[in-house]
C-alpha cells in the first residue's frame, strides 16, 4: 500500500476518538442513540478541527449494521466501505469545484433514488460557502424537505457567507479551535506509536504553531520527524516552522534584561542569516514574554497548563526581571508586530524596538539585610522627591506649632487638612483649565473645517459610503465593526468628519491602524487623498447649536460662551443662569 499522511492515518474512527469537540461528540451521540436524527447538519469552524472527520463518522454511525450504542463497529461492510471511500451512497462533494447551479440540480435529481447498500444516503458537501447564489437557491427546497432516506452534512470554514435561508434549515454545530493541551496529548500518542523520540517542549511548539488545527499539527510533526530522522527537538521544529528555538529566545530576553546590546544585535544578525523573518521573530518573542509573565505570577509547575516551566524559571528569578518590564516589552513588541507589514526595513524596526526594551527601567536589586533601614529611608526620600510639586511644598510647609502638647496634634491635623484641600482645589482648577483649553482647540478645528465645507463632496461621500464600508470590511473587519456606528457629519475637499454616539467607537476608529485602513478606503473611493476626523455626536450637536446661537447675535453668543466656561470651571451643579425678561 502506498504511503499515507499522518492526518489520514489518524483520522478519528469513533466518537470517543474525536478530539477537542466534546459538545459535538455528545450531541451527535445522543441523537444517534435516541433515533432523533435531523435531515441536515451544518458543521462550521476553523480548518483542521474535525468537521469532515465528524461528517464521515456520523455517516458510518447512522448506517452501521452492528453499532455499539452510538459508536460504529468499523468492521461491517458499510463501515469499511465508508472508511475507504468506496460506498456509492455516501458521497463527498467539493463545493469549491462543483459550485454551479447545474451540479446542484444534478444532486437534486439523484436524492430521490433509494440507497443501494446502506440504510441512508449521506451527502457531505465540503466548503459549502463556495456555492453560487443560484446553486444555494436550487438547493433550498431539497434541503428543507429531502426524502426520508437522505441526510445532508454541510461543512464550511466561513459560515458568515452562507445564506440565512440555508442555515435555518440545518442543525448548526460550531467546531472550536483545539486547545494546545489536547493537541500535545494526541501528538504524544502518535510519537509513541511511530517509535519516534521527541521533547515535550518541541510538541508544545508544534501545538502552538498549529493554531488549534489538529491536521496542521500532525502535518508539522510529520515534517519535523522527516527532518530529524525520527528524532524531534525544538531546534528541528523551529527549522520546520520558520521560527526560533525557545531556548534562544529566552537567552535573548536575558540579554535584554542585562542590557547586552551587542549580544542582542548579534543574535538578530545570526537569525536573519539563517533565514528567519522579523515578523516571525517578533511573534515568537511575544509568546515567550507572555509565558514569562504567567510563570512569574504563578508559583506552581502547572502555570502553563502542562508546558515545561523550568526554562522560564531561570529567567524570572533574575533580579532584573519584573512584571512591569515584561508588560512594557509586550506592549512595545505588540505595536511593532502590527506595524511590520508597513515597514520597508523590518530588521531595523525590530532592532530599534529591542533596544528600547533593553533600556526600559528594571526592578532594582534587593538590599542586604544590614542595609534595610538605610534602604527604607532612601526609598522614602525618593517617594517624597517624586511627589507633585504643590503637594511636596505643602508638606514641607507644615511645621509643628509652638503650642501645648495637647493642642499640637489637633492643630497639625487641621493645617494638613487645610493644605490638602488647597492642593485639591488647585488641581481641580488646573484640570478645568485644561478641559476648557481642549474644548477651545476642538471648536477651533471644527470651525476651520466647517468654513471649508463642500456640499458636493459631502453628497459624494454619502453616495459612496456603502462602498467605503465594504472596502473597510475587506481590509480589516474590526475597523468595519467600529465604523458601522458612525455617521458622516460633514465633508471638505480633503477631509471627512464622522460623528459617533459612543466614545468607545470614536476612540477606536482614531487608533493609528484603524484610521489608516479607513482613510485608505475613503481615499480610494473618493479618488483623492482624504483624511478622517471623528468626534462625539454630542460635541457635533453642541457645535451646530452654537452656530445657530451665533446667528441670533454676538451678545447672546458671548453670553453662552461665558456660561459654558463657568460650567466647565465650577461644575454643572454650581452654576445657575438667570435671564432678565
Is 579 within a domain?
A: no
- Examine the pLDDT at 326 and tell me if it is beyond 80: yes
Q: Cell triple for residue 56?
A: 464521515
Residue 174 DSSP class = E
Q: Cell triple for residue 561?
A: 460662551
Q: Which domain CATH number covers 563?
A: 3.30.300.180
pLDDT band at 366 (very low <50, low <70, confident <90, very high): very low
Q: Which domain CATH number covers 20?
A: 3.40.50.300
Q: Same structural domain for residues 137 and 267?
A: no
Is 75 within a domain?
A: yes
Predicted confidence at residue 369, as pLDDT, reads: 38
Predicted confidence at residue 278, as pLDDT, reads: 92
Is 375 within a domain?
A: no
Regarding beta strands 150-156 and 197-198, do their DSSP bridges make them parallel or antiparallel, or are they unpaired? unpaired
pTM: 0.60
Mean pLDDT of the chain: 82
- Kind plus residue range of the DSSP H or E element containing 41: strand 40-44
Q: Same structural domain for residues 28 and 159?
A: yes
pLDDT average, residue stretch 210-224: 93
Q: Same structural domain for residues 11 and 116?
A: yes
Predicted confidence at residue 567, as pLDDT, reads: 66
Q: Same structural domain for residues 439 and 410?
A: yes
Is 379 within a domain?
A: no
The larger pLDDT score, comparing residue 321 to residue 386, is at: 321
Q: Same structural domain for residues 22 and 62?
A: yes
- In sequence order, what are the beta bridge partners of 500? 486, 536
Q: Which domain CATH number covers 189?
A: 1.10.8.60
Summarize pLDDT for 432-467 with one digit per residue, the tens: 455 444 555 666 777 777 788 888 888 888 889 988
pLDDT average, residue stretch 495-504: 89
pLDDT band at 572 (very low <50, low <70, confident <90, very high): low
Sign of CA dihedral 344, 345, 350, 353: negative
Is 431 within a domain?
A: yes
Percent of the chain with pLDDT over 90: 46
Is 575 within a domain?
A: no
- Domain range spanning residue 200? 180-241
Q: Same structural domain for residues 468 and 551?
A: yes
Predicted confidence at residue 422, as pLDDT, reads: 59
- CA dist 504 and 482 (Å) reads 9
Q: Are 471 and 521 in contact (CB under 8 A)?
A: yes
The larger pLDDT score, comparing residue 363 to residue 510, is at: 510
Is 368 within a domain?
A: no
The number of domains in the chain is 5
Classify burial at 207, counting beta carbons within 10 Å of its beta carbon; exposed 0-12, middle 13-18, buried 19 or more. buried
∠ CA 462-468-473, rounded to 5°:
140
Is 381 within a domain?
A: no
- CA dist 278 and 243 (Å) reads 10
pLDDT band at 235 (very low <50, low <70, confident <90, very high): confident
User: Packing angle between helix 200-210 and helix 214-228, nearest 10 degrees?
Assistant: 140
Pick the last residue of a domain from 241, 256, 271: 241
Q: Same structural domain for residues 411 and 503?
A: no
Q: Same structural domain for residues 197 and 153?
A: no
**Alpha carbon of residue 515 to chain centroid:** 18
Q: Cell triple for residue 461?
A: 461621500
In the block, cell 482647540 appears at 441
- Examine the pLDDT at 167 and tell me if it is beyond 90: yes
Amino acid at each position: 500500500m502506498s504511503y499515507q499522511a499522518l492526518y489520514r492515518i489518524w483520522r478519528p474512527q469513533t466518537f470517543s476518538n474525536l478530539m477537542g469537540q466534546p459538545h459535538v461528540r455528545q450531541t451527535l451521540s445522543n441523537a444517534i442513540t435516541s433515533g432523533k436524527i435531523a435531515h441536515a447538519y451544518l458543521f462550521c469552524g476553523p480548518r483542521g478541527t474535525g468537521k469532515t472527520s465528524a461528517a464521515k463518522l456520523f455517516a458510518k454511525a447512522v448506517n452501521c449494521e452492528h453499532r455499539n450504542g452510538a459508536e460504529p463497529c468499523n468492521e461491517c461492510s458499510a463501515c469499511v466501505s465508508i472508511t475507504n471511500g468506496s460506498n456509492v451512497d455516501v458521497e463527498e462533494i467539493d463545493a469549491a469545484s462543483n459550485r454551479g447551479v447545474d451540479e446542484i440540480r444534478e444532486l437534486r435529481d439523484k436524492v430521490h433514488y433509494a440507497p443501494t447498500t446502506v440504510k441512508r444516503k449521506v451527502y457531505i458537501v465540503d466548503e459549502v460557502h463556495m456555492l453560487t447564489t443560484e446553486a444555494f437557491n436550487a438547493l433550498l427546497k431539497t434541503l428543507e424537505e429531502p426524502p426520508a432516506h437522505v441526510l445532508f452534512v454541510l461543512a464550511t470554514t466561513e459560515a458568515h457567507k452562507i445564506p440565512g435561508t440555508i442555515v435555518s434549515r440545518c442543525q448548526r454545530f460550531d467546531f472550536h479551535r483545539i486547545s494546545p493541551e489536547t493537541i500535545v496529548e494526541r501528538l504524544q500518542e502518535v510519537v509513541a506509536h511511530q517509535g519516534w523520540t521527541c521533547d515535550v517542549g518541541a510538541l508544545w511548539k508544534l501545538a502552538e504553531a498549529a493554531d488549534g488545527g489538529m491536521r496542521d499539527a500532525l502535518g508539522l510533526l510529520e515534517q519535523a520527524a522527516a527532518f530529524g530522522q525520527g528524532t524531534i527537538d525544538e531546534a528541528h521544529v523551529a527549522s520546520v516552522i520558520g521560527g526560533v528555538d525557545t531556548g534562544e529566545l529566552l537567552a535573548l530576553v536575558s540579554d535584554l534584561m542585562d542590557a547586552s546590546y551587542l549580544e542582542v544585535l548579534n543574535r538578530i544578525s545570526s537569525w536573519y542569516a539563517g533565514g528567519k523573518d522579523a515578523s516571525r521573530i517578533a511573534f515568537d518573542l511575544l509568546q515567550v514574554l507572555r509565558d514569562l509573565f504567567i510563570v512569574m505570577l504563578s508559583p506552581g509547575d502547572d502555570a502553563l497548563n502542562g508546558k515545561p516551566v523550568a526554562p522560564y524559571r531561570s529567567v524570572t528569578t533574575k533580579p532584573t526581571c519584573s512584571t512591569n518590564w515584561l508588560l512594557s516589552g509586550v506592549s512595545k513588541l505588540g505595536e511593532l508586530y502590527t506595524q511590520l507589514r508597513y515597514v520597508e526595513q523590518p530588521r531595523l524596526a525590530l532592532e530599534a524596538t529591542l533596544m528600547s526594551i533593553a533600556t526600559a527601567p528594571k526592578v532594582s536589586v534587593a538590599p542586604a539585610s544590614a542595609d534595610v533601614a538605610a534602604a527604607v529611608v532612601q526609598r522614602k526620600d525618593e517617594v517624597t522627591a517624586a511627589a507633585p510639586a504643590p503637594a511636596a511644598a505643602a508638606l514641607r510647609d507644615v511645621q509643628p506649632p509652638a503650642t501645648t502638647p495637647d493642642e499640637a496634634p489637633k492643630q497639625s491635623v487641621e493645617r494638613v487638612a487645610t493644605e490638602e484641600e488647597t492642593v485639591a482645589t488647585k488641581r481641580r482648577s488646573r484640570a478645568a483649565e485644561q478641559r476648557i483649553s481642549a474644548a477651545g482647540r476642538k471648536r477651533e478645528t471644527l470651525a476651520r473645517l466647517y468654513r471649508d465645507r463642500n456640499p458636493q463632496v459631502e453628497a459624494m461621500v454619502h453616495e459612496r459610503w456603502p462602498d467605503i464600508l465594504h472596502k473597510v470590511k475587506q481590509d480589516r473587519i474590526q475597523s468595519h465593526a467600529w465604523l458601522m456606528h458612525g455617521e458622516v457629519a460633514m465633508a471638505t475637499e480633503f477631509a471627512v468628519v464622522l460623528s459617533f454616539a459612543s466614545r468607545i467607537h470614536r476612540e477606536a476608529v482614531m487608533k493609528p491602524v484603524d484610521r489608516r485602513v479607513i482613510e485608505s478606503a475613503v481615499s480610494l473611493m473618493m479618488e483623492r487623498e482624504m483624511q478622517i476626523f471623528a468626534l462625539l455626536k454630542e460635541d457635533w450637536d453642541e457645535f451646530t447649536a452654537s452656530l445657530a446661537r451665533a446667528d441670533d447675535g454676538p451678545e447672546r453668543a458671548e453670553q453662552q460662551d461665558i456660561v459654558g466656561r463657568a460650567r466647565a470651571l465650577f461644575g454643572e451643579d454650581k452654576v445657575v443662569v438667570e435671564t432678565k425678561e
